[in-house]
Amino acid sequence: MVDPRTQPVSRTGVAAPKFSDKDLYSLAERYGTPFFLIDEATLRRKVSEIEQAFTEFKGVFRVAYSVKANFNPSVIRAFASEGILFDLTAPSELEFITRAGGSVQSVVYTSITETLLEYQQMLEKGVRKVVIASHNGLLNLAEAASKADVKVSVMIRVNPEVHVHAELRGSMGHGKFGLQFNGGSHDSAFHVLKKVLENPSFRFEGFHFHLGSQIEDPSCYAEAIEKLEAFILNARKQLGQFAVRTIDIGGGLPASYGRKVPTPKDLGAKVVGQLNSLIESIGDKFTLIAESGRFLTAEAVILVSRIVNTKNFGESTYVYVDAGYHLLPDAALLRHEYPVEVVPGGKQAPQKVVLVGRLCDPLDVFPTSSRSKLGGAEVGKLVMFRDAGAYSMVMNMPFHSQPRPFVLIRNGQGSYAVARKGQDVDRLFMDEGGDCLPNQTPAAVTDQSTA
Ligand SMILES: Cc1ncc(COP(=O)(O)O)c(C=O)c1O
């Protein structure tokens, strides 16, 4: 029988990481289940896969890692050593970047809230590249820059209002993100651009858009670029010449999740020619930034869990694992399938297998399809959830008083290390308010492997 783990699951160009059964069982023995396991080599290969897709671009091309997808310090450290940029959305993320080995100069700050306080904090720490997306944001950044007496490179986030075929959309109908090109109010890209160009604290850098996440058809990027070109040419007629130094096309590159999805190469093929023509038409050899969170991290991480019970119910076998949607929230929120493999795999049972988590909640049923390999599921065996690295371990919640599991990493040399210690119940109790009760002493995080 063919072992499913010798068949690459990834359809995005880079083979999914492989781990031997022996390694997984010995890690489970040492650290307990469930645990997340990061493959550093895959993180790095994903960066070069994006870079290679844009080699024909005539200007400078930079990848920016969207830290929100996975802020584990070991993940940040791997990306920092690749020399890429970081897309940040909160001042606390900057702390993670600088402490994990990234530089302030590599940061592009794109806030949702755009408050004066956060801009003051970011400028004070040395951030100088900021993306604004509202008139109030412009006023707040102007005040922060003038108080700090610094010059800030400003990008304007537009919402190009194009249709996006994606799991999560941020363009048409999603006014939360970005400015309309025109429109009557001061909250338009045109008005904000005028103000940025007039303000001596600002250096106008260029434009930014972010269309969504897990984008399944790259045509929306081409449509957005087309609209942006028309806007730039038209704005110059009214405001005079201004230089466009950077265009940031946001995130959205899809991860596989066991399906065939467009690759970075497909995106490059769709837009690089168009972007080179844009250089000609606007006369500026701008820097191009492609942001990515999901694509860079999802496939580099697996979640390993153990089968703890099985039950027959009608025509189905229910297989209970010691994970739940508290570790993979999108399994419940988006009914998102993380392809599952039983370790070691076995013959597919004739009856339907329903994979359920440990939470007392009807939503805690993992979506599975033919992409998941559930043959051989029996109590005591491990199961791995593939492509589990994005928007997962950073969203873990302690529902049912579940302590946070270990995060492990296989480093570039192939050896395993701890990337986040598991929490024990004592620590969880204190963090959840136990330490507010009388006569309780705070506990230290316990590394169960050495306890
Ligand atoms: C501005 C911005 N850039 C990039 C991303 C990353 O998107 P993805 O993880 O789909 O690459 C996000 C995600 O929310 C975002 O808001």
Domain end point (choices 271, 293, 315): 293
Count of domains for the chain? 2
* Residue 270 domain flag: yes
Q: Are residues 230 and 335 in the same domain?
A: no
Q: Domain range holding 413?
A: 4-39+298-436
Query: Could you report the per-residue pLDDT of 253-264, keeping only the tens digit for each?
Result: 999 999 999 999
* Residue 420 domain flag: yes
Q: Are residues 304 and 255 in the same domain?
A: no
Query: Could you report the per-residue pLDDT of 201-248, keeping only the tens digit for each?
Result: 999 999 999 999 999 999 999 999 999 999 999 999 999 999 999 999
Q: Are residues 249 and 339 in the same domain?
A: no
Q: Check which CATH number belongs to the domain holding 266 and give it.
A: 3.20.20.10
Q: Are residues 257 and 314 in the same domain?
A: no
Instruction: Output the CA 76–ligand 1 centroid distance in Å.
Output: 16
Mean pLDDT, residues 351-371: 96
* Residue 243 domain flag: yes
- pLDDT value of residue 109: 98
Instruction: Output the CA 283–ligand 1 centroid distance in Å.
Output: 29
Q: What are the angstrom distances between the C-alpha of 450 and each of 30, 73, 419, 422, 447?
A: 9, 21, 15, 11, 6
- pLDDT value of residue 14: 59
For residue 8, pLDDT beyond 60: no
- pLDDT value of residue 4: 37
Instruction: Output the CA 253–ligand 1 centroid distance in Å.
Output: 9
- pLDDT value of residue 173: 74
Rg (C-alpha) for the chain, rounded Å, is 24
Q: Is the CB of 254 under 6 A from ligand 1?
A: no
- pLDDT value of residue 121: 97
Q: Are residues 226 and 348 in the same domain?
A: no
The least confident of 40-54, 168-182, 203-217, 337-351 is 168-182
Instruction: Output the CA 290–ligand 1 centroid distance in Å.
Output: 10
Mean pLDDT, residues 102-126: 97
Q: Are residues 423 and 365 in the same domain?
A: yes
Mean pLDDT, residues 160-168: 86
Nearest C-alpha to atom 4 of ligand 1 is from which residue? 251
Query: How many Å apart are CA 144 and CA 122, to the nearest integer?
Result: 9
Domain end point (choices 293, 323, 344): 293
* Residue 44 domain flag: no
**Neighbouring-strand partners of residue 382:** 306, 343
> 194: phi > 0 → left, psi -120 to 50 → alpha, else beta; which?
alpha
Task: Give 148: exposed, middle or buried? Use CB within 10 Å, 0-12, 13-18, 19+.
Answer: middle
Q: Are residues 196 and 331 in the same domain?
A: no
Q: Are residues 259 and 309 in the same domain?
A: no
